[in-house]
Homo-oligomer: A and B are copies of this chain.
Amino acid sequence: MATLPGKLITELTSAFPSDRFLTDPVDCYSYAYDNSRKIYPPDAVVFPVTAEEVQHVVALCNCYRIPLIPRGRGTGTAGGSLPEIGGIALSMERMLNILSMDAANRVIVAEPGVLNQAVQDVAKLDGFFWPPDPSSAAFSTIGGNIATGAGGPHAVKYGTTRDHVLGLKAVTGKGDFITTGCYTTKGVVGYDLTRLLIGSEGTLAIITEATLKLTALPDKVAGITAHFRDLSSCTAAIVRIMALPQLPSALEFLDNGSLHLIRHRYPDMLPSDTHAMLMIEVESSGKDISDAISVILAACQNDGLIRASQTENTAMLWKARKALSPLLKEIAPKKINEDVVVPVSTLPQFLKGLSQLSAQYRLHNVNFGHAGNGNIHVNLLINPADADEVARAERCLDEIFDLVIQLRGTLSGEHGIGSEKRAFITKEIDQATLRLMRDIKYLFDPRNILNPGKLFPEI
């Protein structure tokens, strides 16, 4: 555990007013955790409001070699913002300015602490939105979205954060100001450092400004729900829908375990014989949304379909889906929540494999997620007090990851590696490539002060 040198504390005290430099352990405790539910209190919390202040803190931490853990609003699930070895939590939550909204060029420039929702609200006034839509959008920051490469249900049509950022300003671990990318929708001058920073989980540089590319809101949105008697007919429908020329704007899957949880809370919401379900959204820019709906309804037709129909209100469509995460937390003291991705055509095989593995290891397993991208949230519900169950879950998880890799998938679609998945990263990334990534890390941050220990497996 790092303890802060007295001289560093003196320098920070003189540089920041008392409400923007906290050292009282009670205050610091609020910055000890994220949605991974682990707890590591920082030794101090600093709240910069300008890029120069960010640079000053980085330079000081670099000088004294103190860990600096950047943080948005702590909604990440992979433990990326945990101060595992102490140090200073750099909370970006007060860099809250939207610096410009340029409707003619479809660009918004924002500081990292601006909430995703705040960007949506401003963009909407001009008929635009910013496509990255993590389920935390109302509370998570642009900086955090960029650091993790966030995605959400609409990634199936729009892609993820890396597809919607034009440029960044940032401070490297060395304390250098850098400017990446450009303000225009095209640009190939120099290496693409923008996307190198996107998804780098605060290990390379602290983002101080982001230039975001906006997209026009669709004219029409329609929702479809499809209920299936069994898993295999549901996954067959997913594969057929994703083979259609036009992509849905969302294609969410809920397995029997998920439906069971929802039924428990909302007894009348679902037919009793539904054992797997799809929630589908389609968008259109014109008159043809009825065509898109018919084509998708047709793709859902198979022996296991109970019914597929257009929903009246797309807001309602998301009610059951959004209820899931909180419900999971209520019923299980602990869940291991993964966000693996497999090629869509292998989803039937993957979900069948998951059933077999959870049966084999006698674990309660609930799966749902962004089926259109093959991105499934795999939840193993365990009681941490049951050592045998914990051990079985670890072995099961290891086999799940092996299955994912064998199917040409990836260990994380949107949550990132953080601290939660670093033990597994070598299953996916070979040693030479990983070495190169680590060398890049040391180029940006030679004294390893920025979020040390995250993203890479322990050496």
Residues in chain A within 8 A of chain B (CB atoms)? 102-105, 107, 127, 148-149, 151, 155-156, 159-160, 162-163, 172, 176-180, 182-193, 195-196, 198-200, 204, 216-217, 219, 239, 242-243, 245-247, 284-288, 291-292, 341-345, 370, 373-375, 408-417, 421, 425, 428-430, 432-437, 439-440, 443-444, 455
Chain B's closest residue to A427 (CB) is: B189
Chain B's closest residue to A126 (CB) is: B243
| Distance A172 CA – B388 CA, assembled complex (angstroms) | 45
Chain B's closest residue to A289 (CB) is: B286
Instruction: Determine if B436 and A176 form an interchain contact, defined as CB atoms under 8 angstroms apart.
Output: yes
User: Which one, B178, B411, B437, contacts A191 given CB within 8 A?
Assistant: B437
Q: What residues on B are CB-neighbors of A148 within 8 Å?
A: 188
Which of A127, A178, A373, A409 has the most chain B CB atoms closer than 10 A to its own CB? Answer: A178
Question: Whole-angstrom distance from the CB of A162 to the nearest CB of chain B?
Answer: 7
User: Which one, B410, B432, B433, contacts A187 given CB within 8 A?
Assistant: B410
| Distance A105 CA – B151 CA, assembled complex (angstroms) | 19
Question: Whole-angstrom distance from the CB of A288 to the nearest CB of chain B?
Answer: 3
User: Which one, B246, B291, B373, B434, contacts A185 given CB within 8 A?
Assistant: B373
Question: Whole-angstrom distance from the CB of A372 to the nearest CB of chain B?
Answer: 8
Task: Return 22 A-B CB contacts under 8 Å, by A number.
Answer: A104-B343, A105-B343, A149-B188, A160-B186, A162-B192, A162-B195, A172-B436, A176-B435, A183-B343, A184-B374, A184-B409, A187-B410, A189-B425, A190-B437, A191-B200, A191-B204, A192-B195, A192-B198, A196-B196, A216-B245, A217-B245, A286-B286
Q: What residues on B are CB-neighbors of A156 within 8 Å?
A: 185
User: Which one, B184, B343, B412, contacts A342 given CB within 8 A?
Assistant: B184
| Distance A12 CA – B102 CA, assembled complex (angstroms) | 56
Q: What residues on B are CB-neighbors of A172 within 8 Å?
A: 432, 436
Q: What residues on B are CB-neighbors of A440 within 8 Å?
A: 191, 440, 443
Given A177-B432, A245-B216, A436-B172, are A192 and B185 also a contact pair (CB < 8 Å)?
Answer: no
* Known interface pairs A148-B188, A188-B199; 12 further A-B residue pairs with C-beta atoms within 8 A, sorted by A's residue number: A103-B243, A104-B242, A176-B436, A184-B342, A184-B373, A189-B428, A190-B433, A191-B199, A193-B436, A217-B245, A440-B440, A440-B443
Q: Which 8 A-B pairs have the closest CB atoms?
A: A286-B288, A216-B245, A186-B413, A104-B345, A195-B195, A187-B410, A149-B188, A176-B432
